[in-house]
Amino acid sequence: MSRSISRRLSVIFAAVSLAVFTLVGVGLFAAMEWQLNGELHAALDTRADVARLIISRANSPEKWRFVQDKLRDLSPPGNPAPLYVESPDPQFRFGHPITGTPVGSGTGKYRLIRPPGQAYNMITTSFTVPANGARPDVRVVMSGNCERSQKSLRELGAALAVLIAAASGMVFLLSSAVTRFGLRPLTRLSEEASQLSPVNRRQRLRTDSLPQELHELTTSFNGALERLDRAYERLESFNADVAHELRTPVSILIGQTEVALTRDRSINQLQQTLQSNLEEFERLRIIVNDMLFLSRRDRGERATGLTDVWLAAEISRTLEFLEISFDEAQLRVMLHGDARAPVNTSLFGRALINLLVNAIEHSRPGMIVSVQVTPHDGHVEIAVSNPGAPIDPAVREHIFERFYRLDESRCNSRENHGLGLSIVKAVAEMHNGAVFIASEAGINTFGFSVAAASPPGPNASKAFKNASPKRAGMTGRVLP
Amino acid sequence: MKLLIVEDEQKVVDYLRSGLTELGWVVDVAMDGEEGAFMAVEYDFDVIVLDVMLPKLDGFGVLRKLRAQKQTPVIMLTARDRVDDRVHGLRDGADDYLTKPFSFLELVERLRALTRRARTQESTLIAIGDLRVDLISRRAIREGARLDLTAKEFQLLSVLARRHGEILSKTLITELVWDVNFESDTNVVETAIKRLRAKLDGPFSTKLLHTIRGMGYVLEVREDAGPP
């Protein structure tokens, strides 16, 4: 549980409160110290004033004796706050020098010293009383005892430290309870999430009773579940489609081989069976290869062996190959536009042929199929258009999916196994492109894009212009 | 021409052996990688057909052992259609690869290319029965009359004529005539053959262009004209 949120929050809370309490404690302590020092200074000053008054009147050694008595009253023996009067004339002296190690640098006229063998400091102040009569200038050192204030401060410090520690500890304990309480929705959420399973794919996390902070997370999590669910569904139906697609040739193979073997057949008949078998095997081979091709794309494979080519030239090579098909279907084909792009020419041709075959299958004699190459910023679009009935938007959404057929009745088509357009999509994606479909004004357009080498700059457009004659040659190239 | 097949699947070995033997190859077989590596190094072959997935030592291991000693051409058979498999194989010294499932005709075609076996017919004037194909003047003549062929039709005819007597698959025809080297779901070759046949065989009693159903087409004189 080293990464527990509540543990972490408790520690942070405790640390923060420790810092705050310490700050408050230090402030309190400083204020108290200032106050106590003020009192000490005031008491010292009062006594100093009295001593100054007494000493200033003494102008003869006789009077100094009275002064000594009064000073002794001011600091009777045993009084922890002695007084020392220093004078060049031994007759005018009083008390003993006050000695000790200085503590700190002192404030103003006050000095702090630690007398030898003492546990507490003394505060001292000194002043000079001017000469009067026979008495010369004398220097008076007044001292006060800090024992009481120091004791109070120590006690206060100890009490504050204990209080601060106890309070921080309490905050730590309480906050772990508070955060556990605060994080309860999260616990509930994770319990709910742990009950999600592939068996019940429709299940979603409840968002109604959740706090605002978790609402967004839960909504996006539910969104991810939704997408996964759809992908899973597609995969399931895809598996079924594959099985169905393979079942037809396999059942033909089994059936006709069994029939051939039930009687003695002539070599000719057996040959025909084998040839028919071969055709079915070929069909299986194509399906298997296409499936493997699509799975390569699914694993994120990119097109390799790219060559930078003029697409119109590639396209016209493909059109030349399909010339007979267009001719048979009594269609004409026109190619417009040109652009350069790095493509794997085999994959590109394969995608293009699939689009063109699709157009041929859905056109009626006399129509014109048009192929349009349009360079855009960063990619090139290749679109194949033919006149045809409008395609339902719901159909358009799925038309590039595997085994999706525009016309269910064409299910038994012997040539078309329903992977053609999904291969176009795979090829586009392998070239960092995408597929698109449009159906408007009686023209259906299927197309795909491939990434261009670099955004078309001035040089590219110049090169594009240079290619125009060839393009013009292609434009209007109409097959009878 | 001596050929070594290193392959552990008995059925594959059987049909390859009988098919290639009939075409005139002398075929040796190794059923696992260690035996294959031993035979490939010890004996001299013109070409080796090497499966990737083999017991004891896989195809890449065999290839490394072989390449340490010899430069016999190798064609690899791989079950996985993965680019890195191919790169792996070709970098280690394979000369070509075929992805399973592959067609027998294609294998034969690749083997011929690897051993650079001279074409039986490299002359510019080819005679098949009463058909004369002149590759230089690009004319085809039957019974003294010139056939009226389009450029593509003549190209198709010359491809078939150069390899007359040999079955050419649709894939190979697509590649040789249209320079399209990928699979496509079209009936272009069938239609082109149909049109060529109408001009080539239509007016004449002896048929030269034959369909081998499921495999491809062959241009040859047949004594007993069977069903087309």
The verdict on a CB contact (< 8 Å) between B214 and A278 is: yes
> Which range is least confidently modeled, A96-105, A128-137, A340-349?
A96-105
The verdict on a CB contact (< 8 Å) between B188 and A268 is: no
- The answer, yes or no, to whether residue B67 has pLDDT greater than 90, is no
pLDDT tier at A144, thresholds 50, 70, 90 = confident
**Tens of pLDDT, residues A348-372:** 888 899 889 888 888 888 888 999 9
Nearest to A325 among B81, B188, B226 (CB): B188
pLDDT for residue A465? 37
Interface test with A, best of B102, B169, B175, B182 (most A CBs within 10 A): B182
Closest alpha carbon within chain A to B215? A278
Contact residues, chain A, for B183 at CB < 8 Å = 286, 289, 350
Task: Find, among A413, A434, A417, the residue nearest to A425 by Cα.
Answer: A434
Nearest to A286 among B99, B180, B183 (CB): B183
| Rounded CA separation A93/A173 (Å) | 66
Contact residues, chain A, for B150 at CB < 8 Å = none
Q: Please, are residues A302 and A430 in contact by the beta-carbon 8 Å criterion? A: yes
pLDDT for residue A19? 93
Highest mean pLDDT among A67-81, A258-272, B72-86: A258-272
pLDDT for residue A234? 72
Residue B81: CB partners within 8 Å, gap ≥ 6?
A289, A292, A293, A296, B99
Mean of all residue pLDDT scores within chain A: 80
Find the mean pLDDT for residues A288-307. Answer: 78
Percentage with pLDDT > 70 across chain A? 89
Residue B144 region by backbone torsions, left for phi larger than 0, else alpha for psi between -120 and 50, else beta: left
The verdict on a CB contact (< 8 Å) between A286 and B187 is: no
Percentage with pLDDT > 90 across chain A? 7
Q: Beta partners for A451?
A: A379
Find the mean pLDDT for residues A335-345. Answer: 87
3-state secondary structure of B46: coil
Encoded tokens for B122? 């490299």
Closest alpha carbon within chain A to B99? A289
> Which range is least confidently modeled, A19-23, A135-139, A245-249, B18-22?
A245-249
0.95 surpassed by pTM:
no
pLDDT for residue B35? 92
> Which range is least confidently modeled, A200-209, A318-327, A380-389, B164-173?
A200-209
Omega within 30 of 0 (cis) for the link into A61: no
Interface test with B, best of A272, A275, A324 (most B CBs within 10 A): A324
In chain B the domains, ranked by start, together with CATH numbers, are 2-115 (3.40.50.2300), 125-219 (1.10.10.10)
**Tens of pLDDT, residues B147-199:** 888 888 898 998 898 888 888 888 888 888 888 877 777 788 888 999 999 88
Q: What are phi and psi of A406, to 5 degrees?
A: -60, -40
In chain A the domains, ranked by start, together with CATH numbers, are 5-170 (3.30.450), 212-298 (1.10.287.130), 307-474 (3.30.565.10)
- The answer, yes or no, to whether residue A30 has pLDDT greater than 80, is yes
Nearest to B186 among A276, A279, A353 (CB): A353
Find the mean pLDDT for residues A156-175. Answer: 90
Mean of all residue pLDDT scores within chain B: 83
> Which range is least confidently modeled, A44-58, A276-290, B15-29, B171-185?
B171-185
pLDDT tier at B91, thresholds 50, 70, 90 = low
Which position has the token pair 């069977």? B226
Find the mean pLDDT for residues B75-82. Answer: 73
- The answer, yes or no, to whether residue B227 has pLDDT greater than 80, is no
Encoded tokens for A172? 């730590």
**ipTM score for this prediction:** 0.72
- The answer, yes or no, to whether residue A375 has pLDDT greater than 80, is yes
**Tens of pLDDT, residues B120-152:** 446 788 888 888 888 888 888 888 888 888 888
pLDDT for residue B228? 46
**Tens of pLDDT, residues A409-466:** 444 444 456 788 888 888 888 888 888 888 888 888 899 998 887 544 444 433 333 3
Count H helices and E strands in chain B, helices first. Answer: 8, 12
Find the mean pLDDT for residues B90-98. Answer: 72
| Rounded CA separation B97/B110 (Å) | 9
Nearest to B191 among A274, A279, A325 (CB): A325
pLDDT for residue A478? 39
pLDDT for residue A20? 92
Which amino acid is it at B189? Answer: V
pLDDT tier at A224, thresholds 50, 70, 90 = confident
**Tens of pLDDT, residues B23-48:** 888 999 999 889 999 999 999 898 99
